Amino acid sequence: MSTSLAIETPPQPVVFESEGEVFASSRDVAAFFGKNHRDVTRAIDNLIEQEPALVRDPLQGAAPGHTGAYDRLPIFAQTVHERENPSGGAPIPSWAFDMTRDGFTLLAMGFTGAKALKWKLRYIAAFNALEHDLRNRSSAIDLNDPAQLRALLLSYNEKNEQLQEKVQALLPAQEKLDRIAQADGSFCITNAAKLLQMRPKDLFLWLQENGWIYKRPGGASFLGYHSKTATSLLEHRITTVLRADGSEKVTEQVRVTAKGLTKLAALVKPPLQ
């Protein structure tokens, strides 16, 4: 009688290259360290709340308040992709952060435990390996070879043309977003979903999964996380509702501000078309 044993494969750190720089995704970091992704993004939110220049604004392409004093910033970039809907409906937008080596190091300072140091070193080693590979690739270009220089120039020209096309396509949408951002007032989540051209239940789900809203145990109403209300992305409004019997009921409603709607348009959906 033979007995087979399942061998657990240790997790591997995942890094990737974008425009000549090495990044890690908050989703891969959470999976590697065995953490809930929502807890990881909440930790990043807390860092950004203390220093807004740490994150690249997805609408502006640069860190808010970025000055020459922060040569290495921003080190976090918000990203969004669609994941499969368990119910078989439309794909669900999923929010995350890409981070540089400095961003990972800053985030990982808060990771503790018996294996934490060893696993941090493994992730830093992955950054080192890919950065070394990128340096070797760039040094392989012979600047005295006209053929290589010609190919390199053509490649940059093609990338520039592609970027120009994207900018021109996004200009009308950006103008709409600018008008929304400057508007007064706020929107209930249902109306915000309509403006984003998505189903309200999908927006409620996204906001819960990505650290925007929550319910207290036993509570009936959604509330906004402090990191979102403090940055004026969400607000709470107290309203008085008249019951059928003539009595009054005070309710608290979380609402999306014009600034918050502009942010969601970039994170949850492509800019308003």
User: CA–CA distance from 27 to each of 10, 32, 229, 247, 258 (Å)?
Assistant: 17, 9, 24, 49, 28
Tokens representing residue 122 in the block: 């493994």
Q: pLDDT > 70: what percent of the chain? A: 70
pLDDT band at 69, cuts 50/70/90?
very low
pLDDT band at 28, cuts 50/70/90?
very high
Tokens representing residue 188 in the block: 């209930």
pLDDT of residue 174: 52
Tokens representing residue 164 in the block: 């120009």
pLDDT of residue 24: 94
| Beta partners for residue 55, in sequence order | 76
For the stretch 128-149, pLDDT in tens is: 998 888 887 765 566 667 776 6
How far from each other are the two terminal CA atoms of the chain, in whole angstroms?
Answer: 65
- The pTM score is 0.47
For the stretch 33-65, pLDDT in tens is: 989 999 999 999 999 888 888 887 544 444 433
Listed range (44-53, 162-171, 229-238, 255-264) with the worst mean pLDDT: 162-171
